[in-house]
Each structure stands twice: as C-alpha cells, then as structure tokens.
Amino acid sequence: MIPLCDLRKQYAVLKDEIDSVMQQVAGDAHYILGPNVKAFEQEIADYCGSRFAVGVGSGTDALYLALRALNIGQGDEVITTPFTFIGTTEAISLVGATPTFVDIDPQTFNIDVRLIEAAITPRTKAILPVHLYGQPCEMDAIVKIAEEHGLEIIEDCAQSIGATYRGQQTGTFGKAGCFSFFPSKNLGCFGDGGLVLTDDREVYERVEMLRRHGGKVKYHHTEVGLNSRLDELQAAILRVKLKYLESWSRSRRRCAYQYNRLLAGVSGVRLPNEICTSGYCSSLAQNEASDLVEAVYHQYTVLVEGRDSVRDSLTESGIGCAVYYPVPLHLQEVHQDLGWQVGSFPNAEYASERCLSLPIFPELTEEQVHRIAGTLQQISKPAMQVA
C-alpha cells in the first residue's frame, strides 16, 4: 500500500528528536503559551520574512482571528475562491461577513485574477486568496487590484507554507497570512494548530489578545475573544519539524516533477500547471526552471476523466488518493443562502468533478512514483473510453 501521505514514516525518522522535546515540555509543565510557542512564533516569522507571528488553535481560527483583527464583519464582503476547504469561508461567515466567490483559473486551480474586479462592490472589504495545493496565487495582480480598490488581503496559506512568488513567501503579501498545522499539512503537528503572520503591529496585538479571551491583562477583557492558543507541546514538535521544511519542500517538488515526466501525454489525465513568467508551465523543463513561483506541492492534483472509477481502481491497486474537493463551496448546503447554483462557477465545478490528488510526501521514493504513474496510466485509458 502506498498511502496518500505517510506520517508514520516521518515520525520514525524524527522519533528521537520529537520524543525528547515532548518529554521536556511534559517535565517543564509550562503547557500554555510557554517558551516553545514564543520561540516558534519568532522562528516562523523569521523563516517567512515577516515581523510578527501569533500561534493559534487551528488554520480556521487563524483566518477568523485575522478577519476580526481587520474589523471585517457584518455587512462586509470578502472575495475568495469556491474551490477550497470549508474553513476558508467558515471564517468569513463566522465574523458575520459574506463570502463572494470568483471562479478559478482552470490552469492553476487558484482564483482567476482576471475575474476579481467584476466581483468588487461597495461592500467589498478584502480579497482572501487561497494558495491551493501549495501553488501560489498570482499575487502581483491581486496586490494591484487590492491597492487600486482599497481592499485588504488576507492569505489562506494552510497548504502553502514555504511556497514563494517572485522570491517572496506566501503569507507576506497582505495584512495577514494564515497557516494551518493540521497533521497532514507540509508542516504538521500532532493535533490542530494554526498561525497568523503579519507585518502590522496593530493586527499582531489584536490577534494576540483575541486568541486569549480578548484581554491584554489577565481577567480583564476588552472584547469578546476566544480560547485559541497554539499548544506548547505542538509548538515544540513544530520547532523540530521546521528545520526540515525546506528539504521536505524540495523533495515534494522532486516528486511532482517526476510525476510530470512520467505522466506527460497520458490520455485522459491533465497535469497540474505552475505559473511562470511566460504564463503557464506544465512541462518538466520549465518546472525545473520556474523563476516566478516555487510551489510546495501540498498536493499533486491531476484532472482525470472518469475520476471516481479511476480513484476506486487506484485504491484497489493499493495506491492512496483523494478528492480535494468533491463539492465546490458555492454548492455546499451551508452556503445555499448565498443563492449560487450549478453553473455559477463552471471552472470550479469542472475541477471538482475531475480532480484527483496522488500520493506526495517527502519520503515518497522514485520507485513508488514510478509505480503510481504506471498504474494510473493503465487505469486511465479504459476510463477515458467509458467517459
């Protein structure tokens, strides 16, 4: 069996280091907002090239707290993509604002920057781009639109830690970058965890206060906050893992480019594209030379005809795979009040019906990628004929 993501393997490699810091935290008994949280916040801020970082309870909380810190709420609209995890829009809805969807660019799976301006209304307060699968959005265009229309940018970096756009880390383009440390993320802890990154001292102080019940001084509360602190134990684990992140990202890219090579030309399978200075790139040569983005391949996602039967066949062949995401958010029951319908965002719908994420993790071997690609090649042809 080749799993989609192999957390056991990662732990086996890091066991001594991780066990040691966990024991240290247990012994020190400083379990809430202790020295590891503080040190990790500084280390992530330094790694990303930002001034401040606040560790919080999850990626969803990070988005919620960032929106709160920017005073986005009732009556406001936030532009985002319908092709993302529900946490993105949950945060928008929880602050009382309305998610306004803009279709994706079918080449990148990310928000189509050419469609953003048409979605701006007098109520629009922010753009919330999601760097899906670890592929940076077209940030030049998003920053330009935001500046021209006086909008905030809050980046959803749950899947993109370490990814860069023109050499700049995702999460540093707007007022806040929001990260998730859910176990299967590129930098994952042993439970839930998240973080808000910002250069803005006010945003930093506000998120820091909101994460611990809305008060700067213990038992004195100035506004309704919540209990959303990154655990000390999780921070200690994340500090160990952060040291390996860059090499893990390189391994993920190596796997992705190997897939690109092996799957090029396979009928019925469309490979993921990266953006680069000359437009889109999907071939091996440009991927290796891409000077505009460095994606971190949280997922390696192809579009495949007859997706469900291909998924079932891969699973039967002992290859883990997953569908991220089968229902775009504008068609989710929870968002029915927004009034969108089938056909509202055709590219997101098209992707939802065909997307299939293949195994990708730093420890995946070249041999395994060969086996996966070979199996997919065999499976996809009959599936195409049926489709």
> Does residue number 272 form part of the binding site for ligand PLP (CB under 6 A)?
no
- Complex with ligand PLP: residue 191 or 382, whichever CB lies closer: 191
> Does residue number 362 form part of the binding site for ligand PLP (CB under 6 A)?
no
Q: Which of 109, 133, 182, 257 binds ligand PLP (CB under 6 A)?
A: 182
Stretch that binds ligand PLP, among 98-106, 151-159, 304-312, 339-347 (CB under 6 A): 151-159
Range list of β-strands (E), 161-287: 164-165, 168-169, 176-180, 194-198, 269-270, 274-276, 279-281
Minimum CB–partner distance for residue 148 and ligand PLP (Å): 26
SS3 99: strand
> Does residue number 133 form part of the binding site for ligand PLP (CB under 6 A)?
no
Could you tell me if 99 and 78 are in contact, meaning their C-beta atoms sit under 8 angstroms apart?
yes
- Complex with ligand PLP: residue 159 or 380, whichever CB lies closer: 159
End-to-end CA, the chain:
27
- Complex with ligand PLP: residue 211 or 266, whichever CB lies closer: 211
Query: Strand 77-80 vs strand 124-128: parallel, antiparallel, or unpaired?
Result: parallel
Contacts of residue 343, Cβ cutoff 8 Å, sequence gap at least 6 = 349
- Complex with ligand PLP: residue 158 or 351, whichever CB lies closer: 158
Please give the Cα distance from 198 to 175 (Å, whole number): 6
Minimum CB–partner distance for residue 27 and ligand PLP (Å): 28
> Does residue number 231 form part of the binding site for ligand PLP (CB under 6 A)?
no
Nearest Cα to Cα of residue 55 among 36, 81, 82? 36
Please give the Cα distance from 314 to 12 (Å, whole number): 26
Question: How many CB atoms sit inside 10 A of residue 291's CB?
Answer: 11
> Does residue number 160 form part of the binding site for ligand PLP (CB under 6 A)?
no
Query: Strand 168-169 vs strand 269-270: parallel, antiparallel, or unpaired?
Result: unpaired
- Complex with ligand PLP: residue 184 or 377, whichever CB lies closer: 184
Could you tell me if 81 and 127 are in contact, meaning their C-beta atoms sit under 8 angstroms apart?
no
> Does residue number 64 form part of the binding site for ligand PLP (CB under 6 A)?
no
Q: Which of 129, 136, 194, 328 binds ligand PLP (CB under 6 A)?
A: 194
Minimum CB–partner distance for residue 86 and ligand PLP (Å): 8
- Complex with ligand PLP: residue 185 or 311, whichever CB lies closer: 185
Q: Which of 2, 95, 130, 304 binds ligand PLP (CB under 6 A)?
A: 130
> Does residue number 188 form part of the binding site for ligand PLP (CB under 6 A)?
no
Nearest Cα to Cα of residue 196 among 218, 213, 181, 214? 181
Minimum CB–partner distance for residue 126 and ligand PLP (Å): 15
Phi, psi (degrees; rounded to nearest 5) at 194: -160, 180
How does DSSP classify residue 98? E
Please give the Cα distance from 128 to 98 (Å, whole number): 12
Q: Concatenated DSSP letters for 200-257?
A: -HHHHHHHHHHTBTT-SBTTB-SS---B---BHHHHHHHHHHHTTHHHHHHHHHHHHH
> Does residue number 180 form part of the binding site for ligand PLP (CB under 6 A)?
yes
- Complex with ligand PLP: residue 154 or 256, whichever CB lies closer: 154
> Does residue number 192 form part of the binding site for ligand PLP (CB under 6 A)?
yes
Please give the Cα distance from 136 to 232 (Å, whole number): 30
Encoded one letter per residue, x for contact with ligand PLP by CB under 6 A and - for no contact, window 84-113 reads xx-xx-------------------------
Closest residue to ligand PLP, Cβ-based?
Answer: 59
Q: Which of 158, 275, 303, 376 binds ligand PLP (CB under 6 A)?
A: 158
Could you tell me if 95 and 73 are in contact, meaning their C-beta atoms sit under 8 angstroms apart?
yes
Residues lying near ligand PLP in the complex (CB under 6 A): 58-60, 84-85, 87-88, 130, 156, 158-159, 180, 182, 192, 194
